[in-house]
């Protein structure tokens, strides 16, 4: 599905309506316990999301329906604006029925930005530019010069640059394979990823300063890795956050993870359980589903934060409770 022309990204049914919708979104996120950091709250209050989603797609009767900020129908323009400030993910680029890019759910973005634990003066690499909204929030917090965002698709990066400029931000937006990072602007204090991974690219820890944090979707969760230097090279390790998270896959040089196996014959209480499917996704290709079920039930149906990932020079693995314990599974890398 081709992208419509983007003329005036700022065309909305009135700035007051957009401001009111944005403040309502912030109140909703705060009511859920998010945006406790005043600096991030200010970013969400002041960065206009509608500038980054001049059009998006919603499910319709006959496939996807496009909502557009310059639709000649005022009712549809109002619907577009309302959706732009809903606490929901928005599909911003679809091709041949496949979702290629989206604007993540704002409350999840707020959670991830808070977990990134940035400090004044930090430099951040974002993998997966999308429409540019997350890069704008980072730029508001840290300044545009501190932010680098990488995406594989030149149409996505071109649109993101326009959106960012219209909002007054000019971070470095680079067209390239996110799995390779962006060495020309390294080193980084933080890396934040907005697409799910098959493994952790070695280039990311290599482009980090010691003590840096990498926050990325993995399986159906969010892994937070701390980077440290060793004699053999950078080493990253950390645990998953409690929250579930679902993102489009990272596109580029990394091979995709094996699909989940057929689960016929396993109990419905397990196959429909989010935490069991998280374990299956995390260990795809390494753990037989029947063995996974036995482990999951024996260990008391572990929450995500009991799992972690270690990235060492030349190898990486997922683990339950202890990176050197009995329950570990190799990851590609």
Q: What is the pLDDT of residues 164-178, one digit of tens each?
A: 999 999 999 999 999
For the chain, the farthest-separated pair of C-alpha atoms sits apart, in whole angstroms, at: 63
pLDDT at residue 305 is higher than 80: yes
Cα gap 88→108, rounded to integer Å: 9
Instruction: Tell me the pLDDT band of 115, cut-offs 50, 70 and 90.
Output: very high
**pTM value?**
0.90
Question: How many C-alpha atoms does 37 have within 13 Å on its Cβ side?
Answer: 15
106 with 49: CB under 8 angstroms? yes
Instruction: Tell me the pLDDT band of 2, cut-offs 50, 70 and 90.
Output: very low
pLDDT at residue 247 is higher than 80: yes
Rounded mean pLDDT, 202-210: 96
Instruction: Tell me the pLDDT band of 263, cut-offs 50, 70 and 90.
Output: low
How high is the pLDDT of residue 12?
42
pLDDT at residue 13 is higher than 70: no
Rounded mean pLDDT, 104-117: 96
How high is the pLDDT of residue 6?
43
Spatial CB neighbours of 147, under 8 Å, sequence gap ≥ 6? 123, 124, 126, 135, 138, 139, 171, 172
Cα gap 311→218, rounded to integer Å: 13
How high is the pLDDT of residue 332?
75
How high is the pLDDT of residue 256?
55
pLDDT at residue 258 is higher than 80: no
Spatial CB neighbours of 272, under 8 Å, sequence gap ≥ 6? none
Question: Of 8, 101, 159, 199, which is the active-site residue?
Answer: 101
pLDDT at residue 257 is higher than 80: no
Rounded mean pLDDT, 270-293: 88
How high is the pLDDT of residue 162?
97
Which SS3 state, helix, strand or coil, does residue 84 take?
helix
Instruction: Tell me the pLDDT band of 265, cut-offs 50, 70 and 90.
Output: low
Rounded mean pLDDT, 82-106: 90
Percent of the chain with pLDDT over 90: 78
Residue scoring higher pLDDT (252 or 228): 228
pLDDT at residue 333 is higher than 60: no
pLDDT digits (tens, 9 = 90+) for 53-81: 999 999 877 778 899 999 999 999 999 99
- Check if 101 is active-site: yes
Rounded mean pLDDT, 296-306: 96
How high is the pLDDT of residue 100?
82
Cis peptide before 59 (omega within 30 of 0): no
pLDDT digits (tens, 9 = 90+) for 229-244: 998 999 999 999 999 9
Spatial CB neighbours of 227, under 8 Å, sequence gap ≥ 6? 205, 208, 209, 210, 211, 212, 213, 214, 234, 235, 236
Q: Beta partners for 331?
A: 316
Spatial CB neighbours of 41, under 8 Å, sequence gap ≥ 6? 26, 30, 35
| CA dist 154 → 128, 180, 237 (Å) | 12, 16, 32
Rounded mean pLDDT, 135-160: 97
Cα gap 171→135, rounded to integer Å: 7
Query: Poorest-confidence range of 109-118, 190-199, 303-312?
Result: 190-199
Across the chain, mean pLDDT equals 90
């Amino acid at each position: 599905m081709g992208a419509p022309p983007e003329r005036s990204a700022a065309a909305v049914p009135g700035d007051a309506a957009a401001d009111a919708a944005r403040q309502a979104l912030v109140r909703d996120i705060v009511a859920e316990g998010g945006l406790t950091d005043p600096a991030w709250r200010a970013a969400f209050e002041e960065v206009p999301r509608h500038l980054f989603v001049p059009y998006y797609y919603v499910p319709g009767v006959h496939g996807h329906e496009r909502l557009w900020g310059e639709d000649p129908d005022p009712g549809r323009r109002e619907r577009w604006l309302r959706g732009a400030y809903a606490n929901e993910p928005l599909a911003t680029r679809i091709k041949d029925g496949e979702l290629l890019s989206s604007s993540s759910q704002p409350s999840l973005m707020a959670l991830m930005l808070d977990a990134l634990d940035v400090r004044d003066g930090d430099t951040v690499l974002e993998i997966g530019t999308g429409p540019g909204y997350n890069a704008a929030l980072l730029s508001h917090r840290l300044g545009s010069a501190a932010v680098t965002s990488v995406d594989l698709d030149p149409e996505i990066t071109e649109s993101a640059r326009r959106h960012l400029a219209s909002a007054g931000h000019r971070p470095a937006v680079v067209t390239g394979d996110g799995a390779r990072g962006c060495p020309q602007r390294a080193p980084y204090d933080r890396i934040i990823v907005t697409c799910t991974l098959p493994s952790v690219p070695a280039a990311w820890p290599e482009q980090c300063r010691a003590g840096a944090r990498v926050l990325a979707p993995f399986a159906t969760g969010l892994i937070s890795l701390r980077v440290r230097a060793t004699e053999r090279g950078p080493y990253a390790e950390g645990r998953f956050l409690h929250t579930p998270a679902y993102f489009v896959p990272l596109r580029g040089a990394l091979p995709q993870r094996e699909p989940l196996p057929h689960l016929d014959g396993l109990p419905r209480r397990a196959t429909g359980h989010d935490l069991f499917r998280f374990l299956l996704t995390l260990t795809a290709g390494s753990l037989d589903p029947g063995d996974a079920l036995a482990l999951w039930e024996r260990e008391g149906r572990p929450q995500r934060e009991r799992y972690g990932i270690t990235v060492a020079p030349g190898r990486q693995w997922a683990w339950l409770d202890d990176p050197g314990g009995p329950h570990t599974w190799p990851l590609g890398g």
